[in-house]
Amino acid sequence: MRRMIIDTDTAADDSFAILIGLLHPQAKLEAVTIVAGNVDFDQQIENALITIEAAGRGGEVPVFPGARVPLMRPWRGAKAHGDGKGNHDFPKPKQKPEAEHAANALVRIVNENPGQIDIVAIGPLTNLATAIALDRDFPSKVRELRIMGGCDNSVGNITAAAEYNFYVDPEAAEIVLQAGFNTTIVTWTLTLSHALWSKEQLDRIARKKTKLSEFFTILDTPNLAYNQTKDIMGSTHPDSLNAMLLVRPDLVKSESRKFVSVETVSEMTRGYSLFDHRPERNAPNATVIHDVDAEGFYEAFSELLS
């Protein structure tokens, strides 16, 4: 059983990661913390609450609002998701967000459960960098940090150089990567090769005609349309891949230890992620996943929607 906190800029694929935390038998979702990213911050809070209620868990998992802006940069949203909930009018969620700030909640919960909590980071890393500022020993008390971010020597998705989560708050990404967590990274590179679901796969999910398969299809549709404008034929699932590999490590087929660092000085390559496999140059600070059972991931997620 993996007790986890999901730190998220809740939109579409983030919601699918939250569904894994709520529904997978090996997952115990202790809390959701919200960070500035994909869409309007208050919309992200509502998207998280809607997702928790869609899974029938309303009122059972606290949602803590966190950083409403990056550490040093103006906030920049992502166009890939519409409003993050499929531009669909869901009923207003009954559950309310907590008053406690996400960074304080992260530090409190981890200090109450040292060595027992995994953090699934699927947005910019502003909340985690803030938690480190509050408690310098925070990294050593987190069991595993699972980051969705970066490109492993491949083209970015928000600029040619950078993946979105690292681009939005590069200073936070660099602080977190050098802070000494037990870090594993799922990259945009892996997403494009192993977590891109075709229209045929999406239709198979839609044909389930369950409440959750309909919820998935509604939220996924804007991403499918957006991707097609970028010649990506299908919807991309980086955040749910990151969450799924924590509870299904058997799906990992290859990984390696690398030194990972994020560009914070250059404007042109802001958020670029260096993935260096030469230990004689820089001691590795992360495990990077290179290959997974793509069909196994799709099946594992799809069966949660039955």
Using CB under 6 A, list all residues that contact ligand RIB.
Answer: 9, 11, 13-14, 37-38, 78, 122-123, 148, 157, 163-165, 188, 238-239
Q: Which is nearer to ligand RIB, 274 or 282 (CB)?
A: 274
- Please state, in angstroms and rounded to a whole number, the distance separating the CA atoms of residues 119 and 64: 14
Of the pair 13, 255, the CB lying nearest ligand RIB is at: 13
CB of 77 to ligand RIB, least distance (A): 9
* Pairing assessment for the beta strands 252-262 and 286-292 based on DSSP bridges: antiparallel
Token readout for 272 is 């670029």
5, containing H or E segment: strand 2-8
Beta bridge partners of 162: 272
Q: CB nearer to Ca ion: give 10 or 259.
A: 10
User: Nearest Cα to 105, choosing from 35, 44, 158?
Assistant: 35
Closest approach, Cβ 278 to ligand RIB, in A, equals: 26
54 or 250: whose CB is closer to ligand RIB? 54
If the CB atoms of residues 130 and 242 are measured against ligand RIB, the closer one turns out to be: 242
Whole-number Å distance between alpha carbons of 160 and 261: 17
Residues that bind Ca ion (CB under 5 A): 9, 14, 122-123, 239
CA angle at 268 for the pair 266 and 272, rounded to the nearest 5°: 75
The H-or-E segment that residue 4 falls in is strand 2-8
Q: Which residue number, 45 or 122, has a Cβ lying nearer to ligand RIB? A: 122
Contact of residue 238 among Ca ion, ligand RIB, none (CB under 5-8 Å per partner type): ligand RIB
Binding partner at 62 among Ca ion, ligand RIB, none, C-beta below 5 to 8 Å by kind: none
Assign 40 to helix, strand or coil: coil
Report how far apart the first and last C-alpha atoms of the chain are (Å, whole number).
21
Which residue is at the shortest CB distance from ligand RIB? Answer: 164
Shortest distance, position 80 Cβ to ligand RIB, whole Å: 6
Find the shortest distance in angstroms from Cβ 239 to Ca ion: 5
Partner touching 127 among ligand RIB, Ca ion, none, CB below 5 to 8 Å by kind: none
Out of ligand RIB, Ca ion, none, which partner does residue 220 contact, by CB within 5 to 8 A per kind?
A: none
Smallest separation, CB 194 to ligand RIB (Å): 14
Q: How far is the CB of 37 from ligand RIB (least distance, A)?
A: 5
Nearer to Ca ion among residue 140 and residue 159 (C-beta): 159
DSSP letter, residue 93: P
CB 132 within 8 A of CB 33: no
| Region at 70 (left for phi over 0; alpha for psi -120 to 50; beta for the rest) | beta
Binds 78, which of Ca ion, ligand RIB, none (CB < 5 to 8 A, cut-off by type)?
Answer: ligand RIB
Cα separation values, 117 from 3, 16, 53, 185, 229, Å? 5, 20, 23, 17, 39
